A and B are shown apart, each in its own frame.
Chain A
Amino acid sequence: MTLKLYADRMSQPSRAIIIFCKLNGIDFEEVKIDLSRRQHLTPEFREINPMKKVPAMVDGRFKLSESHAILMYLACVFPGVADHWYPADVFTRAKIHSVLDWHHSNLRRGAASYVLNSTLAPALGLPLNPEAAAEGEKLLSASLMKIETVWLKGKGRFLLGSFQPSIADLSLVCEIMQLELVDEKDRERIMGPHPKVLKWIDDTKKATRPHFDEVHSILFKVKEKMKKLQSDGSVGESTRKTSPRSKM
């Protein structure tokens, strides 16, 4: 197999690419890089991606990082990928670029910061940070509002009013799925005001089944583990001093 995907299914952009490949029948080898075990910091992985981040891709000898670049590359070079994922039409394509660009500094920045600082940090050996979580939530909510009122405007059920999903839908929905890790009441509070967003997430899941659910199953497993650790009292202040390996 010439295509290798270096991924951690706990990473939102990693999931988007895995789902995309499975849906489109793209043959690939999934190489797990466990972030909680700092495997992204090894010298071997540095050879693959000097930015030390997942996801990363190697196609033959061609190395590539950054999930949007990877999704666009795969859509272009693999035959049999339906046009709606990354339309050839220059206007539609430009609009997809614009939502993917907007995503970095808006939904991704807000959601990732909120989830990390309110919930996920201890699993990565970091302290929780309520102040940063509040800032993240503010940006996350503003971003969800933009998706509700701007990006989901139009006749279709997907971003940019499209009738079928594109790589942008996959990328953004996988980001929002990370909220499954936070407390249910917080998630409801944040997502509740956005009915179009909730429907769009559901439509994207349906359009990409069964792979969407399968690839996301890790989130629910991790959530259970975290709940157990919390009730055992071993996650919190005391974990700051213990090594990351002992946590999961």
Chain B
Amino acid sequence: MELKVYADRMSQPSRAILIFCKANGLEFEEVPIQLAKKQHHSPEFAEINPMKQVPAIVHGDFKLFESHAILIYLASAFPGVADHWYPADARKRAKIHSVLDWHHSNLRRGSVGYIFNNTIALAFGLPLNPKAEAEGEKLLLASLSTIESLWLEDGPFLLGNSKPSIADLSLVCEITQLEFADEKDRERILSPHKKVLKWMEDTKKASAPYFEEIHSSMPPGIAQLKALKAQVISQLSASKH
């Protein structure tokens, strides 16, 4: 059965799935859907995912969207995926579900709220929103503290696991979206969280070389967006004088 992964490498959950597939040697075709070019709004893509979001997969004639559902499906449907990614043990698995659920309304919501309103909105022709950015940052910081003190309490991976699970991939790929922010902001936000920083490195190593490979697609897009942001900001301050 053929596996197609519809993804934009600029999308955090897309990256998590691409890295997972490569790290587990799954055969698949990556179908790029470029959000900045509004390709997710095409009628063809609506057939794949009526919610018009990436990532989405088609496996044979089975369609699926929502990255956590996809990661769980791939871990379950493909033989040869090592147990630590999505353990068969009911209790270990339940804990992974609970951090994946927590993620939606905490790390993801905070991180997206911050980064979107700080920079990424411009890629969609939308204005930056300092108020929403500040709210996002507050939730992002609280979420990083929770990861530092609770989810990574028994380290090195989430939930005291000695090897990474799909939860580690999902959450770390969310945090790497901070590459879109200014370096000094990124430092300010991440540097107080030593365990988080180590965990990100450990997750990168555990899925090497694919983690680096997938993330290497980001810099050109980031540079373009940062240049656009600089332009917008200088236009705004010019219009004030």
Contact = CB atoms under 8 A, between A and B. Distances in A.
Residue among B65, B102, B104 with the highest chain A CB neighbour number at 10 A: B104
B66 A51 contact: no
B105 interface: yes
B45 to A, nearest CB: 14
B174 to A, nearest CB: 13
Interface string A78-100: 00000000000011011101100
Contacts of A94: 62, 64, 69-70, 72-73, 76
B236 interface: no
A104 B101 contact: yes
Nearest to A53: B102
Interface string B68-85: 111011001100000000
Contacts of B69: 94-95, 97-98, 101
Interface string B163-189: 000000000000000000000000000
A91 B68 CA distance: 14
A102 B51 contact: yes
Contacts of A67: 101
Nearest to B106: A51
- In the A-B complex, the 9 residue pairs with the closest CB atoms: A97-B69, A69-B97, A104-B104, A69-B98, A66-B101, A101-B66, A98-B69, A73-B94, A94-B73
7 contacts: A66-B101, A69-B98, A72-B97, A94-B70, A101-B68, A105-B104, A150-B50
B77 A90 contact: yes
Contact of B105 (A70, A93, A109, A150): A109
Nearest to A101: B66
A77 interface: yes
A91 B94 contact: no
Contacts of B97: 66, 68-69, 72-73
B146 interface: yes
A109 B112 CA distance: 15
Contacts of B101: 66-69, 104
Nearest to B146: A51
Interface residues of A, number: 30
A104 B146 CA distance: 19
B72 A150 contact: no
B91 interface: yes
Interface in B93-112: 94-95, 97-98, 101-102, 104-105, 108-109
B108 to A, nearest CB: 8
Nearest to B50: A150
Contacts of B62: 91, 94
A64 B90 contact: no
Residue among B65, B66, B105 with the highest chain A CB neighbour number at 10 A: B66
A24 interface: no
Contacts of A70: 94
Contacts of A90: 73, 76-77
A68 B66 CA distance: 15
B31 interface: no
A6 to B, nearest CB: 14
B68 A97 contact: yes
B154 to A, nearest CB: 13
Interface in B102-127: 102, 104-105, 108-109
Given A64-B95, A95-B64, A50 B150 contact: yes
A65 interface: yes
B87 to A, nearest CB: 13
A219 interface: no
A104 B90 contact: no
A126 interface: no
A146 interface: yes
Contacts of B50: 149-150
Residue among A64, A70, A104 with the highest chain B CB neighbour number at 10 A: A104
Contacts of A101: 66-69, 104
Given A97-B69, A98-B65, A102-B66, A51 B104 contact: no
A126 to B, nearest CB: 16
A76 interface: yes
Given A50-B150, A105-B105, A62 B91 contact: yes
Contacts of A69: 94-95, 97-98, 101
Contacts of A66: 97-98, 101-102
Given A104-B105, A105-B109, A109-B105, 17 more contacts: A50-B150, A64-B94, A66-B98, A66-B102, A68-B97, A69-B97, A70-B94, A73-B97, A94-B64, A94-B69, A94-B76, A97-B66, A97-B73, A101-B66, A101-B104, A102-B51, A146-B51
